[in-house]
Amino acid sequence: MNEEIKFLKDRKKDSHKGDYGHLFIIGGSPGLTGAVCLSGISALRTGCGLVTIGIPETLNQIIEIKLTEVMSLPLPETEDHYFSLDAYDKAIEFIEKKADSVLIGPGISLHPETKKFVKKIIPEIKKPLIIDADALKIISENLEILNSVEKPILTPHPGEMSFLTKFKIEEIQKNRVEVAKSFAKKYNVILILKGYRTVVTDGENTYINLTGNPGMATAGTGDVLAGIIGGILSQGEDKFISAKYGVFIHGLAGDLAKKEKGEISLIASDIIEKIPDVFKYLKKGGKNDLFRKI
């Protein structure tokens, strides 16, 4: 690949954290706070200067205790501790004033009130946006929402792609490239169809990723991928390059983790631990074209 890769350039000696972007992650719900934690740490490991997690307010203490370098923004919640529609004003104000990019969905849940919040805020986000996890299922109820967003990055696994397209998972898996390309072109999105040989497409340009292994079929790896992409995107990188390289880095980190842990014992945090090794490899001129363009 011959693209100019901004996020791999040497850093200036007089730079500061604000030079490397601020990612705002909206997610988390009872029992699912780990998702946003994995995404937040992954983004920082990918070079993002600042990460803030928007979380239902009574769950904020979990984030404060669990994470050291990631900041948090407690948001209004329902009585049972899920995002409420009242979270909109505080979240959108933060996005407009401080965020360089936004990731919405990790651990967010399908709570009825949370659905209202997600459907209201996504069309109003004018910063580069990644839509992940349950947020994909929520927008599948009204895909016209995507018409209000400038080329967002969507990260479905086959099950979530089934919600988006109404195709059976078996149909999607038999025609992964065609289904991904068609959806991306129709809705003007960058689509990452996860799984064996992950597809990255904007409807015109399509790549098949060649990194990754079956050990990555474990809870939380999708949250790591979303965080990596968000970390790259926040640094001002092109959306398609952010998606393509995010998938590549994620898969290669998983391959390095496999060498140490094996496939059976590999967990999501093992992948995060190997992100720095991937960057060292790339900075030394390691092969970074493990994609097949089709």
For the chain, the distance separating the N- and C-terminal CA atoms, rounded to the nearest angstrom, is 14
Q: What is the pLDDT of residue 283?
A: 85
Q: What is the pLDDT of residue 9?
A: 87
Q: In this predicted model, what pLDDT tens digit does every residue of 33-51 receive, in sequence order?
A: 999 999 999 999 999 999 9
The CATH number of the domain holding residue 56 is 3.40.1190.20
Length of the chain: 294
Domain range enclosing 122: 19-293
Q: Is residue 3 part of a domain?
A: no
Q: Is residue 8 part of a domain?
A: no
Q: How far is CA 55 from CA 76, 90, 131, 191, in A?
A: 9, 11, 16, 26
Q: Is residue 6 part of a domain?
A: no
Stretches where the chain sits below pLDDT 70 are 1-4, 286-292
Task: Give the pTM.
Answer: 0.96
Q: Is residue 113 part of a domain?
A: yes
Q: What's the total number of domains in the chain?
A: 1
Do 75 and 56 touch, CB atoms closer than 8 A?
yes
Do 29 and 82 touch, CB atoms closer than 8 A?
yes
Q: Is residue 119 part of a domain?
A: yes
Give the H/E segment covering residue 33. helix 33-45
Q: Is residue 248 part of a domain?
A: yes
Q: Is residue 4 part of a domain?
A: no
Q: Hey, how many other C-beta atoms are within 10 angstroms of the C-beta on 189?
A: 24
Q: What is the pLDDT of residue 286?
A: 67
- Identify which of 3, 107, 99, 2 has the alpha carbon closest to the alpha carbon of residue 62: 107
Q: Is residue 14 part of a domain?
A: no
Q: In this predicted model, what pLDDT tens digit does every residue of 72-92 receive, in sequence order?
A: 999 999 999 999 999 999 999
Q: What is the pLDDT of residue 72?
A: 98
